[in-house]
């Protein structure tokens, strides 16, 4: 039986799951839709299948992370964390700043856990922070080197193009899979780990979010993110997938948004004539840092207020 | 169109295939002009080809805009198609100029005609190279054929310059002088468009898999 805190936490989580699924369509299927490889609806379906399979097959792995940050299952503390994360995530979304749900949710859990006096697994916390710092740096460097590597003259351009297109569909699916396993898995593990009903509710919310926000799939890629060519796009998606999947195995919530954005930056930097707006980069970086700190503080304050009440 | 067809029969390849038809039209128009120097019937036939090319361009641009090409390549594809159409337009413009006026002095007219014929001969070679180029998907060969078209265009510039100098050197009335200059420029326009077409094609092909 759910209490009110658990119920509200679940409702907020379902809303966030829908928003995350819709928001990340551009990073998962944006390139294959914008590149004319598949139609928009097909792109949404590719991402949706990826999200659902990732959540279903590996979503539970993030329970390790939830348990490390919130070792005691108390629906009030959980609600405080999810409310704080939800508020920061929605505000960032309204400000059109690319915010990471994994980052704000984990930070809010730490804040709420501290207020409740939980013994947070510090080794895991340090590992998670290290992953948050290292993963974007690694993705930027790896994608930069892949994208700027000297290419050999191609003998069969049409064949290479077809192979690149097929690979892009695969990597788009894998990107969505890792998002389903990691970010959505973290959210699911925090509110309904082990519950089939809640898992089904999450899957429904993800499907609704994917189709409701499918209109953003092109706009985001063309207007808000640097459009990359096939080679850069492949490298970006592949590196993001590998890093997030590795984090999933360790139970670490790792932001797809962060890794994808820095991979895109690496790809963008590989073009000699590409101009990158440093102001936009500062905004992205500040959004991440301030978002995490704000969630830490808000999670603490809300949990403390609820305990006092 | 099914998802597999969409992936395996790429829109880019289909559009390039359609572009080859405009090159074929240009080849036919050039052939007609060489056969029917100063001929009204050739002008009419070339006009029909020019209209056929316009229709083809419209149909290709519609296909491109319908979403068969990656958005970042659309502009280059449209520029390529327009440049191909420019080859046919230039041939038609040259033919019109030829039919519009005849230089009175036979010796001068023969010299001018022979140089224009040389330029059209170069255009035939350039169009032939473009036909081969459009069937290529090996980057090395693409570079090779592009250079060949560029070399032909440069040879054309030399003939054009000679013709301009000739027009200034010879004593002729204003209409003949102006006509000679116009012919030189219009014939050279054909080769310029061939070169630009080869450049656009190369840029597109090289950027496709990067």
The tens digit of pLDDT for each residue in B111-120 reads: 999 999 999 9
Contact A161 B69 (CB under 8 A): no
Contact B210 A166 (CB under 8 A): no
Q: Which residues of A touch B68 (CB under 8 A)?
A: 36
Contact B210 A231 (CB under 8 A): yes
Mean pLDDT of B68-75: 77
The per-residue pLDDT for A223 is 47
The pTM of this model reads 0.82
- What does pLDDT average to over chain B? 91
Mean pLDDT of B41-61: 95
Domain ranges in chain B are 3-208
Residue A221 pLDDT > 50, yes or no? no
Give the range among A152-156, A297-301, B32-36, B197-201 with minimum mean pLDDT. A152-156
Name which residue leads in pLDDT, A218 or A74.
A74
CB atoms within 10 A of CB A231: 19
Q: How far is A287 from chain B (nearest CA, A)?
A: 29
* A223: contact with B, CB 8 A cutoff: no
Contact A231 B209 (CB under 8 A): yes
DSSP code string of A261-294 = HHHHHHHHHHSTT----HHHHHHHHHHHHHHHHH
Cβ(B114)–Cβ(B210) below 8 Å: no
* A45: contact with B, CB 8 A cutoff: no
Give the range among A296-305, B3-12, B70-79 with minimum mean pLDDT. B3-12
The per-residue pLDDT for A222 is 47
Q: Can you tell me the distance from the alpha carbon of B23 to that of B113, in angstroms, rounded to the nearest whole number? A: 24
The span from the first CA to the last CA of chain A, in angstroms, equals 23
Reported as a single tens digit per residue, the pLDDT across A80-131 is 999 999 999 888 888 877 788 999 999 999 999 999 999 999 999 999 999 9
Q: Can you tell me the distance from the alpha carbon of A250 to that of A232, in angstroms, rounded to the nearest whole number? A: 27
Instruction: Report the percent of chain A where pLDDT is more than 70.
Output: 91
Give the range among A44-48, A119-123, A284-288 with minimum mean pLDDT. A284-288
* A160: contact with B, CB 8 A cutoff: yes
Reported as a single tens digit per residue, the pLDDT across B149-174 is 999 999 999 999 999 999 999 988 99
Q: How confident is the model at residue B65 (pLDDT cuts 50, 70, 90)?
A: confident
Q: What CATH number should be reported for the domain whose range is B3-208?
A: 1.20.58.220
DSSP state of A309: -
Q: Can you tell me the distance from the alpha carbon of B129 to that of B140, in angstroms, rounded to the nearest whole number? A: 15
Q: Which residues of B touch A37 (CB under 8 A)?
A: 6-7
Instruction: Name which of A7, A54, A52 is nearest A200 in CA terms.
Output: A52
> Which SS3 state, helix, strand or coil, does residue A69 take?
helix
Q: How confident is the model at residue B2 (pLDDT cuts 50, 70, 90)?
A: low
Token pair listed for B132: 């081969």
Q: Which residue of A has its CA nearest to B67?
A: A36
Show contacts of B102-105: CB within 8 Å, 24+ apart. Answer: B102/B38, B103/B172, B103/B176, B103/B179, B103/B180, B104/B173, B104/B176, B105/B172, B105/B176
The per-residue pLDDT for B13 is 86
Token pair listed for A161: 């193009």
Q: Can you tell me the distance from the alpha carbon of B131 to that of B123, in angstroms, rounded to the nearest whole number? A: 12
Sort residue A276 into left (φ over 0), alpha (ψ -120 to 50) or beta: beta
Cβ(B68)–Cβ(B157) below 8 Å: no
Q: Which residues of A touch B140 (CB under 8 A)?
A: 153, 155
Mean pLDDT of A246-259: 90
Contact A157 B71 (CB under 8 A): no
Q: Which residues of A touch B8 (CB under 8 A)?
A: 162
Token pair listed for A37: 């490889």
Token pair listed for B77: 């594809």
């Amino acid at each position: 039986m759910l209490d009110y805190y658990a119920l509200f936490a679940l409702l907020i989580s379902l809303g966030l799951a829908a928003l995350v699924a819709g928001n990340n369509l551009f990073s998962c299927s944006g390139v294959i839709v914008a590149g004319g490889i598949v139609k928009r609806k097909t792109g949404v379906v590719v991402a949706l299948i990826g999200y659902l399979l990732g959540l279903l097959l590996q979503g539970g792995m993030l329970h390790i992370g939830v348990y490390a940050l919130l070792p005691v299952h108390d629906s009030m503390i959980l609600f405080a964390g999810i409310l704080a994360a939800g508020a920061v995530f929605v505000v960032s979304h309204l400000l059109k700043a690319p915010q990471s749900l994994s980052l704000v949710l984990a930070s809010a859990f730490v804040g709420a856990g501290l207020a409740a006096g939980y013994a947070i697994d510090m080794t895991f916390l340090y590992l998670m922070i290290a992953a948050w710092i290292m993963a974007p740096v690694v993705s930027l460097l790896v994608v930069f080197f892949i994208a700027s590597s000297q290419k050999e003259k191609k003998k069969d351009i049409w064949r290479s193009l077809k192979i690149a297109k097929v690979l892009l569909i695969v990597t788009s699916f894998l990107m969505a899979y890792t998002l389903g396993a990691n970010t959505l898995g973290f959210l699911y593990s925090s509110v309904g780990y082990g519950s089939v009903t809640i898992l089904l509710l999450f899957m429904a919310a993800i499907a609704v979010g994917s189709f409701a926000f499918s209109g953003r799939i092109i706009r985001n890629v063309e207007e808000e993110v640097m459009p990359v060519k096939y080679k850069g796009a492949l490298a970006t998606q592949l590196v993001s997938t590998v890093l997030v999947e590795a984090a999933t195995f360790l139970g670490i919530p790792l932001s797809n948004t962060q890794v994808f954005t820095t991979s895109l930056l690496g790809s963008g930097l590989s073009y000699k004539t590409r101009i990158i707006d440093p102001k936009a980069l500062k905004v992205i970086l500040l959004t991440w840092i301030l978002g995490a700190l704000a969630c830490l503080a808000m999670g603490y304050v809300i949990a403390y207020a609820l305990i006092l009440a | 169109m099914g998802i597999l067809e969409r992936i395996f029969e790429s829109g880019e390849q289909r559009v390039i295939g359609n572009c080859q038809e405009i090159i074929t039209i240009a080849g036919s128009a050039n052939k007609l002009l060489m056969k029917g120097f100063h001929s009204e019937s050739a002008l009419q036939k070339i006009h029909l080809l020019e209209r056929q090319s316009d229709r083809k361009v419209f149909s290709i641009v519609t296909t491109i805009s319908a979403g068969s090409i990656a958005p970042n390549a659309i502009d280059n594809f449209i520029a390529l198609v327009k440049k191909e159409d420019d080859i046919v337009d230039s041939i038609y413009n040259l033919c019109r100029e030829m039919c519009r006026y005849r230089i009175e002095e036979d010796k001068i007219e023969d010299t001018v005609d022979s140089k224009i014929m040389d330029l059209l001969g170069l255009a035939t070679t350039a169009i032939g190279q473009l036909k081969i180029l459009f069937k290529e998907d090996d980057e090395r060969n693409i570079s090779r054929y592009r250079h060949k078209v560029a070399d032909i265009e440069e040879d054309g510039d030399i003939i054009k310059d000679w013709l301009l100098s000739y027009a200034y050197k010879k004593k002729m009335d204003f209409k003949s002088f102006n006509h000679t200059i116009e012919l030189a420029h219009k014939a050279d326009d054909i080769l310029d468009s061939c070169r630009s077409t080869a450049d656009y094609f190369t840029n597109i092909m090289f950027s496709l898999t990067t």
